[in-house]
Amino acid sequence: MSEILVVGAGFAGAVCAERLASKGHTVRVIDRRPHIAGNAYDEYDEHGVLIHRYGPHIFHTNGKRIFEYLSRFTDWRFYEHRVLAEVRGQQVPIPINRTTLNALYDLDLDEAGAAAFFEKVRTPRSPIQTSEDVVLNSVGPELCDLFFRGYTRKQWGRDLSELSAGVAARIPTRTNDDDRYFTDTFQFMPAAGYTVMFQNMLDHPNITVELGVELSAQDRSAYDHIVYTGPIDEYFGYCFGRLPYRSLNFEHQHLPDVDQVQKVGTVNYPNEHDYTRITEFKHLSGQKVAGTSIVREYPAAEGDPYYPVPRPENEALFQQYRALADKESNVLFVGRLAQYRYYNMDQVVGAALAAVEDIA
């Protein structure tokens, strides 16, 4: 049995630690932050509302295996996320659907009418390479400008045309009335929150967790295996230069005198304000406490790395680091930061489950 160091106690690290511990390995988990659960960390604020310190984390997956795996560590609360975008003074569904078109253009389209509308306004693009191509190809220039261009500029500090197709392709276009943000088979929130789920994952006799601890030079050579879940460029001392990551600043606020401020979990502001969106946490948790707590997300170039920036040149730089990573025979690089992938939580879990197969 091996001695294994896991760097990072977010989804990638916690899943790897749990799987390896269950195989009988001795696992030490370190994280530079003072808490587990990475960016999925949730906690009760001083008003008793369960909030996500690093912005809204909504679990959804089509992966039965992934859902069943996490179900060992948590009960679930059924929750389908809905998002409205404030556009031209109205709050309308995003992803853009039939309701969005009817509200925005004062129409009464049925599904076939909505399909015909998109067909009329869309700008066919081929090949589809950038996020601008994706959006113009499905909804044309006006809806692109109303819903996507401003939001994307705020979120990424770049134009849609400067981002790979995958970014905007996260958001579908619909001709029906389905106003759910996701359509995955499994849409649930951990019933007692993410942090409790992580505590349960890491609660194993073979696992020790040390918080507020950096990866040291000695650690790098002291273990049979390392699972590294931090930024890959940092691991290699930025030897090829920095990989861009986008950051966010979170403005949390408690409103004592209202039980609910917005109709749905998240309202997006594509065109006004410096923040991209406001999330009201009670929608996510179903809590019935008095007052309500919200968070505004302000995108930032500097700060903790939250999003890899999907662009061909960044991918090329990542591949240089990956070539170095491939030579590190006893180090696994797993997760959003180590694999430089705009992964959702379930995809990180899937990547971690796959990665640990490499360690017997």
Please give the residue ranges that form the binding site for ligand UDP (CB under 6 A).
85, 94, 147-148, 151-152, 155, 167-168, 170-171, 268, 270
3-state helix, strand, coil in the chain (%, to 5): 35, 20, 40
Residues 6+ apart with CB under 8 A from 114: 97, 98, 101, 175, 176
Cβ 125 to ligand UDP shortest distance, Å: 17
CB-nearer residue toward ligand UDP: 20 or 168 = 168
Cβ 280 to ligand UDP shortest distance, Å: 15
Q: Which among 9, 11, 5 is positioned nearest to 343, based on CA atoms? A: 11
CB-nearer residue toward ligand UDP: 143 or 332 = 143
307, β-bridge pairs: 246
Residues 6+ apart with CB under 8 A from 148: 131, 135, 160, 168, 171, 270
Cβ 63 to ligand UDP shortest distance, Å: 18
Q: Report the interhelical angle of 11-22 vs 345-355 (nearest 10°).
A: 30
Alpha carbon 117 to chain centroid, angstroms = 32
| Distance (Å, whole) CA 182 – CA 185 | 9
Amino acid in position 247: S
CB-nearer residue toward ligand UDP: 193 or 270 = 270
Cβ 103 to ligand UDP shortest distance, Å: 15
CB-nearer residue toward ligand UDP: 61 or 155 = 155
Cβ 94 to ligand UDP shortest distance, Å: 4
Cβ 297 to ligand UDP shortest distance, Å: 8
CB-nearer residue toward ligand UDP: 44 or 298 = 298
CB-nearer residue toward ligand UDP: 38 or 215 = 38
CB-nearer residue toward ligand UDP: 2 or 173 = 173
Cβ 184 to ligand UDP shortest distance, Å: 13
Cβ 268 to ligand UDP shortest distance, Å: 4
CB-nearer residue toward ligand UDP: 148 or 235 = 148
Helix (H) or strand (E) holding 345: helix 345-355
Alpha carbon 355 to chain centroid, angstroms = 20
CB-nearer residue toward ligand UDP: 207 or 270 = 270
Pairing of strands 26-31, 83-87: unpaired
Q: Which among 338, 336, 339, 335 is positioned nearest to 352, based on CA atoms? A: 335
Residues 6+ apart with CB under 8 A from 286: 77, 79
Cβ 38 to ligand UDP shortest distance, Å: 15
Decide: 188 and 7 in contact? Cβ < 8 Å.
no
Q: Buried b / exposed e across 87-114, counting CB within 10 Å, b at 16+?
A: beeebbbbbbbbbbbbebeeeebeeeeb
In this structure, the number of other CB atoms found within 10 A of the CB of residue 24 comes to 9
